[in-house]
Amino acid sequence: MSFDERCEALPQLGLGISTEFGAGEMGLDVFELRARHPRWGRFLEVGVDLERGLDATATLWARRGYPTTLHFLDVNLEEPEDLDAAWIAGIRGLADELDAAWLCGDAGLWHVGPRERGHGTLLPPVLCDASARAMAAGVRALREATGLEVLPENPPAQVYLGDLHLLDYFARVAEAADCGLLLDVAHLAIYQRATGHRPLDGLDAFPSERVLEIHVAGGTQFQHGGRHFVDDDHSPEPISDTWTILEAVLPRAARLRALVYECERNPLAVVAPNFARLDALVGPRFERVG
């Protein structure tokens, strides 16, 4: 099936939240959020590596039948050898346990050398056509192996190599893989600032109609060597460039199915104002979400 046909079968998840292993014990209580503000906690994006699997929060959420997506944290999509049979079987099993609507994850290098958490790092891809074609092949292979839609996400970094703009790179991935995209507007704001671009540079030529999911997160600004950077630390407050990009993308993302506010290590009282702001921006288009 084509992307257009597959997209029609995907659910509208609405505004949701993210978690990683152990995060539920350190900050945001996702069950309290869903109980007190059901419009803000409509689904949970579960960050997973196979070594640790699902924690108690993710397991309980799934047992209650609440919607989920699965965000992989340990696969290099552009390396064919990384998509081995054991990893695919494991990720498929976790997706089944969660009843995940789709798979997604930062499309970069999650590890250097063998897949082992001691080798874990997240590096961006080299922004060139050869890498984009290899990434697209990995997206296709994982989609075909699992039967789930795979949404590659633009990863965060302070240094990028290659001759393509980040948005051009992921446009090429989407076209070659015939896939949807997860656009992290906080990561994009970091990229634009680190590479000397304005917040909306490259957006006009970007296939926003392929954006099925958006991430928003806070970041801490800092200076080094006379340059300005942003640390993607999921602190409560998104920088102004993130809001600028989000507000520009939303009208163009006609097929948007989900928006995640990544704030998992912060208490509800601190992040509630930004949940309310996001709900005001996207709530009307998700009115029919259960």
pLDDT recorded at residue 221? 85
Report, as an integer, the average pLDDT of 152-158.
95
Mapped to the 3 state alphabet, what secondary structure does 122-172 carry? EECCCECHHHHHHHHHHHHHHHHHHCCCEEEECCCCCCCCECCCHHHHHHH
Compare 140 and 283 and report the one with higher pLDDT.
Answer: 140
Local structure of 96: helix, strand or coil: helix
Distance of CA 110 to the CA centre of its chain: 14
Report in angstroms the alpha-carbon separations of 249 from 62, 102, 245.
31, 21, 6
Compare 231 and 38 and report the one with higher pLDDT.
Answer: 38
In the block, tokens 């958006």 appear at 214
Q: For residues 111 and 81, is the Cβ–Cβ distance under 8 A? A: no
Report, as an integer, the average pLDDT of 171-197.
97
Q: What percent of the chain stands above pLDDT 70?
A: 98
Report, as an integer, the average pLDDT of 280-285.
91
Question: How many independent structural domains does the chain possess?
Answer: 1
pLDDT recorded at residue 18? 95
- Whether the pLDDT of residue 118 is over 70: the answer is no
In the block, tokens 């509630």 appear at 272
Report, as an integer, the average pLDDT of 107-130.
85
pLDDT recorded at residue 119? 62
Report, as an integer, the average pLDDT of 77-101.
97
Q: For residues 151 and 104, what is the distance between their CA atoms, to the nearest angstrom?
A: 5
pLDDT recorded at residue 58? 96
pLDDT recorded at residue 112? 83
pLDDT recorded at residue 121? 80
- What CATH number is given to the structural domain containing 10? 3.20.20.150
Compare 116 and 156 and report the one with higher pLDDT.
Answer: 156
Report, as an integer, the average pLDDT of 7-14.
96
Identify the CA nearest to 138 among candidates 199, 197, 87, 65: 87
pLDDT recorded at residue 71? 98
CA dihedral sign, ordered 119, 138, 181, 145: negative
pLDDT recorded at residue 227? 78
Mean residue pLDDT across the chain: 94
pLDDT recorded at residue 290? 58
pLDDT recorded at residue 117? 65
pTM: 0.96
Domain hosting residue 160, numbered range: 3-286
pLDDT recorded at residue 74? 93
- Whether the pLDDT of residue 114 is over 90: the answer is no
